[in-house]
Amino acid sequence: MPLTTPSVFPPPSKAFAKFPSRRSVVHSTKGIVSCTQPLAAKCGIDVLEAGGNCADAAVAVAAGLNMTEPCSTGIGGDMFCLFYDAKTKKVSALNGSGRSGGKCTLERIRSSLGLKDGESGRIPMPSVHAVSVPGAAAGWVDTVERFGSGKVSLQQILAPAIELGEKGFPVSEGVAHFWKKSEAQIRTASPNGGEMLKSDPSAPDGVRAPNAGEIKKNPTLAQTFRALATEGKKGFYTGRIATELVKVVQDLGGHLELDDLAHHAETGSEPVEAISLKFRGQNIAQTLKDNVLGGGGDETPDLGLELWEHPPNGQGIVALMALGVLQELERAGTIPTWRPADFNSAQYLHAVIEALRIAFADASWFVTDPNVERVPSASLVSQPYLAERAALFNPEKASDILHHGSPALQSSDTVYFAAADAGGNAISFINSNYGGFGTCIVPRGCGFTLQNRAANFSLDAGHPNVLAPRKRPYHTIIPAAVTNLHDGSLHSVFGVMGGFMQPQGHVQVLLGQIVGGLSPQQALDAPRVCIGNGMDRGGVLDRTVYVEEGMPAETVEGLRKLGHKVEIVTEMERAQFGRGQIIRWSVDPIENLGVWSAGSDPRGDGAAYPL
Predicted local confidence at residue 15, as pLDDT: 73
Predicted local confidence at residue 118, as pLDDT: 86
**Local confidence band at 537 (pLDDT 50, 70, 90 cut-offs):** very low
Higher pLDDT, 539 or 96: 96
Predicted local confidence at residue 410, as pLDDT: 29
Residues with Cβ within 8 Å of residue 553, at least 6 apart in sequence: none
- Strands 480-484, 426-432: pairing is unpaired
User: pLDDT of 570-604, one tens digit each?
Assistant: 988 888 898 999 999 999 999 999 999 999 999 98
C-alpha separations of 62 from 26, 91, 107, 359, 525 in Å: 21, 20, 36, 30, 24
User: pLDDT of 7-23, one tens digit each?
Assistant: 677 777 777 777 777 88
* Average pLDDT estimate for 269-289: 93
User: pLDDT of 206-264, one tens digit each?
Assistant: 999 999 999 999 999 999 999 999 999 999 999 999 999 999 999 999 999 999 999 99
* Average pLDDT estimate for 277-292: 91
Helix (H, G, I), strand (E, B) or coil at 236: helix
Predicted local confidence at residue 402, as pLDDT: 63
* Average pLDDT estimate for 325-341: 97
* Average pLDDT estimate for 540-566: 91
**pTM recorded for the entire structure:** 0.93
Predicted local confidence at residue 295, as pLDDT: 64
Higher pLDDT, 448 or 533: 448
Alpha carbon distance 390, 386 (integer Å): 6
| pLDDT over 90 percentage in the chain | 79
Note the maximum CA span of the chain.
75
- Please give the single-letter amino acid code of residue 70: P
Predicted local confidence at residue 4, as pLDDT: 63
Predicted local confidence at residue 425, as pLDDT: 97
**Local confidence band at 407 (pLDDT 50, 70, 90 cut-offs):** very low
* Average pLDDT estimate for 508-525: 95
User: pLDDT of 72-81, one tens digit each?
Assistant: 999 999 999 9
Lowest-confidence region among 311-320, 416-425, 525-534: 525-534
Asked whether residue 555 carries a pLDDT value surpassing 50, the answer given is yes
Residues with Cβ within 8 Å of residue 286, at least 6 apart in sequence: none
Alpha carbon distance 342, 358 (integer Å): 22
Predicted local confidence at residue 540, as pLDDT: 54
Helix (H, G, I), strand (E, B) or coil at 305: strand
User: pLDDT of 359-372, one tens digit each?
Assistant: 998 888 888 888 88
User: pLDDT of 149-161, one tens digit each?
Assistant: 999 999 999 999 9
